[in-house]
Amino acid sequence: MLKSLDDLEFIFPWRSYQAELLKHFNSHIADNHFHVIAPPGSGKTILGLEIVRKLEKKTLVLAPTLTIRNQWEDRLQNFFTENCDFEAYSFDIKAPSDITFSTYQSLHAFYKTFEDKNDYYQFFKSHNIETLVLDEAHHLKNAWWNCLMDLKRNSEFYIVALTATPPYDSSRAEVSKYFTLCGEVDDEIAVPDLVREGDLSPHQDFVYFSKPEDLEINFIVDYRRDIADFKDKLLKDEVFINFLIEHRFYKNPNWHLDELYSNTEYFSAILIFLYACGFEIDHQKLEVLGFEKQELIQFPKLDLHWLGILFQNILVLDREQLIEQEKYISTLEKQLRRLHVFERNSVDFIGEQLLYKSLSNSPSKLKSIVSIVKAERESLKRDLRCVILTDYIRKEFLNIKTEEIEDIDKIGVLPIFQYVRYYCNRPEELAVLSGSIVIIHQSILRHFETIASLDDFSFSSLQIDESFLLVTSKGKPKNSIVSILTQLFEAGYIRVLVGTKSLLGEGWDAPSINSLILASFIGSFVSSNQMRGRAIRKDANAPNKTGNIWHLACVDPTDLDGGREVDTLKRRFEAFVGVTNSTIPFISNGFERLNIPDEIPVEQIDTLNESTLNVATKRILTTEKWNNAIGKGTKLTKEVKVLHQGKRPYKRQQQIYYFDVLRFFIVELLFTMMLFYVEFVAQSFHLILQRGVFYFIYALLAAFIGVFGYKLWKAAKLYIRHGYLYKKIGKMGLAILDTLDELGYITSGRASINVNSYVLGKGDVVCNLVGANALENSLFAKALTELLEPIESPRYLIVKTNFFRKRLDVENFYPVPELFGDKKENALVFQKHWKHYLGQSKLVFTRSVEGRKLLLKARLFHVYNAFKEVTKEVMVWK
């Protein structure tokens, strides 16, 4: 225990959400990890220092930048000491003290100085450093991660990880590495907590859609038509069909089982293509994979995803094995290159890169920005504080002539500046702030001079508009240009500021921002969330501030769902918790809370945008919605939503495919039986007189089975396969919950936790825990999601089967969640609780020969949903 840390004591009262988080400290740190998600403004640094104080161990605090590193020492002195007199700290990683503040870059550089890494591990042991604090942990890059993970593997540490946004949208490998280092999320300070306490402003996200230019539409339509023509010709191409029939996977699958196990998507793509051609799949090929003669696979439609998988393997991954057909494959490659489908060893029929680059950079977004700025200015008048962030500067548009503005074909800082300058009123309120170009209006020079000496800067008029000045600094002035323009913006002399997200994104602070336009299309939702954080901070000078965050999307006219840009936004919105736009508001994450239609036809975009602007300017409603929604809950709860599939209206689909088929059948039966009995008795009354009542009853039963037997058989089969879905998922949830409890993951007390499962209006099924803490919720949601998603490569499978199911060909396969599948004894615990709630099943180890065959069979059963979003983890304030 360190005596120096005894002198530290937080000298202010804790906010309620901070106190709640610290209350569970002992249970969270039990696994030597404390991983906290907290938005900007929630006091992450203060919490980190309190955790360090509680652990009472020598500590290394790592931050992504020197500025943030210095903030740690500043908060320590000003919030944990009376006289800023704590001395047992260091900024030098080579000379550590009781608390050492450094950066990830410094640790990595230090790591590289050791030829023998054992000396590196020994250094930390000899200095008794036992706690690592990882600030803004989402910044961890590969090199930084390696030196930390290497250290963690070879020494015992308490790991305290603090972040505003985990990198959920990174690759699965990156996300896995992140959680391996930081541990599972222990607790989260929710945005609603901060809004309720007055530490964040009420705010709302809005999406403004744009239509591509005619040239872009023609390009997209031509591209789609060319791909469709290629696909149609391919389906009739006897040479290609024969090429697939002769492929070793199809011709002799039992000779290549190991390859099939490792690449089931490729084999599936071959089968799906042949099936789409009308080719009858030889069932003997499937029997070797575990399918019985009568079992049917529901093949999905041959879409561009499956076509892409097929050609990615043929042209790249499997090419060496197809060397005898190289001449033919080369002709296929040339065809795809001409279609711009095959580039850099990657096949892309959907055009994600080609079309996305075109739409994300569309000049139509410049008109969107003008519309938003005009509407916000009209609504807020002199109170407007609008920041527009984008990725590139585009210096070639600095001195573009007025008559050429319409010809701008790229989005960037200077194109936005030119459009807003030309099309919006009051250009004197406009400024540009980027790393290499700074522009202000000459009318604010006198205010500029009150902050800094004009002699430290040079000013030159723009050729296109002499009222605007290009500002460059001479040497190193006392006040940086960023600081000066920030002060001018805060004071209201600049009301519309255009800049790059790299300069004005994370770390830049201007609490007065009340309108943020994100014209950025590069980067993950980590950076998007950091940029949003700029607009939702509380402004002491405007206590009633509300923040509008604007997202831009250019719609793909050939895709009713909106295309890749809308998909990207939907993914990013998984990280944003906010209030819904519904009549009865509630707080949730996800794109759905904006109430934007699932389909976005181009002809409806103007109406949609007009409605959005109308809602956005009624800022008092945003505050009212937050106040109403916050009162309906106390904490964010993670739910698993099983998404309703298909385009049919839910009620109709429920009757035909979903899980009330028996009730539907009984209702139908009652109606038709009435007619059947009346008709049968009338026609067969003579049988009673001639042969007696028993003969009549036998005839009635035979006729009944003849008329209703098949329907009853079909209904029973559907029910056995699916059951009532929400009840079934509830039982799965109970099996997971009891397994978590038996394996020691439940610390809140099993008796106080319940599983809640129900159906929403659109047909989605929702399942969540009631009474659990954040970590228990997170583990439960992750396990249930894995259980319901299409099968990939679990170590164990649960096969729900019995004699009756076998006769009906309705075996069901479920992957044992990774949390329980690491050891056989854990998997057996899960199977025990599964049997209790869901009946007989067998546990199969998929790494054996028979197990791998069954795994492939299970994957092929799930192939229909391979590219569908089956489940979604949702955060809801309850």
HEC letters along 302-328:
CCHHHHHHHHHHHHHHCHHHHHHHHHH
pLDDT in the model for residue 687 = 52
Beta pairing class for 457-461 and 468-473: antiparallel
pLDDT in the model for residue 478 = 66
The CATH 3.40.50.300 portion of the chain extends over 3-189, 368-539+550-628
Residue linked to tokens 């997170």: 778
- The pair of structure tokens assigned to 244 is 């697939």
pLDDT in the model for residue 697 = 58
Q: Could you give the CA distance from residue 249 to residue 424 in angstroms, rounded to a whole number?
A: 63
Element (H, E) at 268: helix 264-276
Cβ proximity of 35 and 532 under 8 Å: no
pLDDT in the model for residue 264 = 80
31-43 burial: b if 16+ Cβ within 10 Å, else e = eebbbbbbbbbbb
Q: Could you give the CA distance from residue 368 to residue 359 in angstroms, rounded to a whole number?
A: 13
622 three-state secondary structure: helix
873 three-state secondary structure: strand
Q: Could you give the CA distance from residue 815 to residue 455 in angstroms, rounded to a whole number?
A: 70
805-833 burial: b if 16+ Cβ within 10 Å, else e = beeeebbbbbbbbebbbeeeebbebbbeb
Distances (CA, A) of 877 to 41, 589, 767: 19, 9, 14
Residue numbers of the chain with a pLDDT score lower than 50: 647-664, 718, 720-723, 803-810
Question: Which pTM value belongs to this model?
Answer: 0.80
- The pair of structure tokens assigned to 62 is 């790592």
CATH assignment of 3-189, among 3.30.1300.10, 3.40.50.970, 3.40.50.10420, 3.40.50.300: 3.40.50.300
CA-based diameter of the chain, in Å?
A: 121
- The pair of structure tokens assigned to 52 is 């360090």
pLDDT in the model for residue 182 = 87
Q: How many CB atoms lie within 10 A of CB 647?
A: 8
Cβ proximity of 319 and 342 under 8 Å: no
Cβ proximity of 322 and 314 under 8 Å: yes
Fold annotation for 368-539+550-628: Rossmann fold (3.40.50)
- The pair of structure tokens assigned to 454 is 């004009």
pLDDT per position as a tens digit, 309-343: 999 999 999 999 999 999 999 999 999 999 999 98
- The pair of structure tokens assigned to 367 is 């008109």
**List of residues 6+ apart from 838 with CB closer than 8 A:** 728, 731, 732, 735, 800
pLDDT in the model for residue 807 = 42
